[in-house]
Structure 1
Amino acid sequence: MHLTITKSKLVEVSRLKITAPADSPNTDGIHVSGTKNIDIHHSYIGTGDDCISIVSGSTNVRARYIHCGPGHGISIGSLGKNKEEDTVSNIYVHDATLRGTTNGLRIKSWQGGRGYAKDILFQDIDMVNVTNPIIIDQFYCDQDKPCKEQKEAVQVSNIMYKNIKGTSSTPTAIKLKCSKTVPCKGIQMENVNIRHQGGSTVKALCANVKYTAKGVLFPKCPSERPWSFLWN
């Protein structure tokens, strides 16, 4: 990791340029842990891992005017590893550009964990050629062996995506992969428009998520009702 901010309060981070090769592992740009009231702004981050990662114990985090790429995007988590209770809340990410990243806006948690990721707003985000533009993954498993299926999960709730536009490098622009026992709730999408970089059709894959939509939403979850249990 390049810059780690841990167990701190009232922090401002601005006008940084952080670079690393796109294939370099564990090179997070800015890693925020257990920190309250932090403002990250006007920075350029291109690495082989998350541009910004926000993990347990962090609240009132603002990230704005960020250029991200290459890298793994802007991530909340991972949370809940080894059955830990992790909490993240009051996150505001806006006026950011993600270019050529593996993920765009990602929330990731392990099965078996507890706690929550809530009250998160992603607004005014541009994406160019991003592999997974919008992804919530409550089945994150960053290990060689398959992870054991477990019922407990970190609760993901009150997440808003507003004015998100751009292009996906893959046919699946939106992935909302949520737990059956602890489904994602309070997901809001307003003026979200993600097309395929090459002009092909894109789709959304959704499981165990309750969401509302306003304005443009493309692509949509494959259900006529805003409640989908589909996953391929």
Structure 2
Amino acid sequence: MQIEGTIVAPDEPKNWDPKNSRNWLDFSNLTKVLFQGGGVIDGSGGKWWAASCKKNKSNPCKGAPTALTIDSSSAISVKGLTIQNSQQMHFVISRSNSIRVFNVKVSAPEDSPNTDGIHITASTNVILQNCKIGTGDDCISIVNASSNIKMKTIYCGPGHGISIGSLGKDNSIGIVENIVLDNAFLRASTNGLRIKTWQGGSGYVRAVRYQNVMMQDVSNPIIIDQFYCDSPSACQNQTSAVAISQIMYRNISGTSRSQKAMKFACSDTVPCTHIVLNNINLQRKDGTVETYCNSAAGFGYGYVQPSAECLSSSDKDNINKPEEEEEYFIHTEL
């Protein structure tokens, strides 16, 4: 599939087919297909954004089209495309296996609502490499039933960071495992490396490795939030939660906009376990930084700034045995 020039979506929402209001360019049930070219996919999203309830609370909350969707497919490569100004999400990979995305650029204004860059759901064996993403929502979002995802050489900003989740909404099951981010630069994003889950969910996030990441002026560089609540009304306290374990952060450095450069806000009944920090150096231009912990177990070794002493640890025997950590996390290498 060779894409050259610019493909432009209709810019008037009322001209959209109401029976197919969530999709624009949708490819499904493909095997061994290459999408390539220097072309641009332009969603003309301005009027959709203006009608969003996130822009104006008096507007009704409803979905808008995704610019490009690859669904129920396998052995797909996407190379060199630019996707911009999507009505809602830019590029969704859904229910697919063995997907390779290289040299893709995603671009939308910082204030465009719900415009995730690359969204991965119910997919496995996905590689994202050399991608530059700046949007009004998550640069990359990975949600339920996704595993074996490797992201390498990723530029993110503006946006809401590189996120796992949200998971567990409406008491649902969320399962994400074997995720690697290696070599990334995040600039002026509202979050850096984020895992977000709703109270009341179940399932797990495990075997995640973030390494070689530079942050510049990022509000929440490292954050696990098991109390995520993207709702106009307060979310009800619930005891069940998506379990989070085996999360490694290695060689993470840069500047934080907020005082809490690392935040591990975990469930009292389903604590986060085996969080490992190695060679962390996060600073703040005009003040000190700190780590916040609630029901989070793990430890740091090597240089860790700010200190993560607030992490409780059931793994103290391993603190001086980083080689055991290598063995423990080896299966996250893809």
TM-score per shorter chain, which class? over 0.9
Distance 2:246 2:228 in 1: 20
Q: Corresponding residue for 1:152?
A: 240
Q: State yes or no: 1:220 paired with 2:307.
A: yes
Q: Corresponding residue for 2:322?
A: none
Alignment deviations for residues 149-189 of structure 1 (CA, whole Å, 9 cap, x no partner):
00000000000000000000111101100001000001000
Q: Corresponding residue for 1:8?
A: 96
Residue of 230, 250, 274 corresponding to 1:162: 250
Distance 1:115 1:149 in 2: 18
Distance 1:67 1:182 in 2: 33
Question: Percent same amino acid among aligned pairs?
Answer: 48
- CA spacing shift, 1:225–1:56, aligned 2, 3 Å: closer
Distance 1:49 1:68 in 2: 11
Q: State yes or no: 1:88 paired with 2:139.
A: no
Q: TM-score, normalised by structure 2?
A: 0.66
Distance 1:53 1:224 in 2: 26
Contact 2:298 2:311 in 1 (8 A): no
Distance 2:128 2:185 in 1: 14
Residues 1-232 of structure 1 aligned to structure 2 (within 5 Å): 1-196=89-284, 198-221=285-308, 223=310, 226=313
Higher relative contact order, chain-length normalized (CA < 8 Å, sep 6+): 1
Alignment deviations for residues 47-73 of structure 1 (CA, whole Å, 9 cap, x no partner):
000000000000000011000000000
Distance 2:134 2:311 in 1: 39
How much has 1:136 moved relative to structure 2? Answer: 0.1
Contact 1:178 1:209 in 2 (8 A): yes
How much has 1:226 moved relative to structure 2? Answer: 4.5
Q: TM-score, normalised by structure 1?
A: 0.95
User: Which secondary structure state, in structure 2, belongs to the residue aligned with residue 176 of structure 1?
Assistant: strand
- CA spacing shift, 1:44–1:150, aligned 2, 3 Å: same
* One-letter identity of the residue aligned with 1:135: I
Distance 2:210 2:311 in 1: 25
Higher helix share: 2
Distance 1:108 1:126 in 2: 21
Contact 1:104 1:127 in 2 (8 A): yes
Q: Which of the two has higher C-alpha Rg?
A: 2
User: Which secondary structure state, in structure 2, belongs to the residue aligned with residue 103 of structure 1?
Assistant: coil
**Which blocks of at least 5 consecutive residues in structure 2 are unaligned?**
1-88, 315-334
User: Which secondary structure state, in structure 1, belongs to the residue aligned with residue 170 of structure 2?
Assistant: helix
- CA RMSD after TM alignment: 1.1
Contact 2:296 2:311 in 1 (8 A): no
* One-letter identity of the residue aligned with 1:130: V
Distance 1:173 1:103 in 2: 10
Alignment deviations for residues 57-96 of structure 1 (CA, whole Å, 9 cap, x no partner):
0000001100000000000000000000110000000100
User: Which secondary structure state, in structure 2, belongs to the residue aligned with residue 132 of structure 1?
Assistant: coil
Q: Corresponding residue for 1:230?
A: none
**Which blocks of at least 5 consecutive residues in structure 1 are unaligned?**
228-232
Alignment deviations for residues 199-220 of structure 1 (CA, whole Å, 9 cap, x no partner):
4111111100001111011112
Distance 2:309 2:288 in 1: 14
Q: How many residues align?
A: 226
Distance 2:276 2:267 in 1: 18
User: Which secondary structure state, in structure 1, belongs to the residue aligned with residue 192 of structure 2?
Assistant: strand
Contact 1:56 1:88 in 2 (8 A): yes
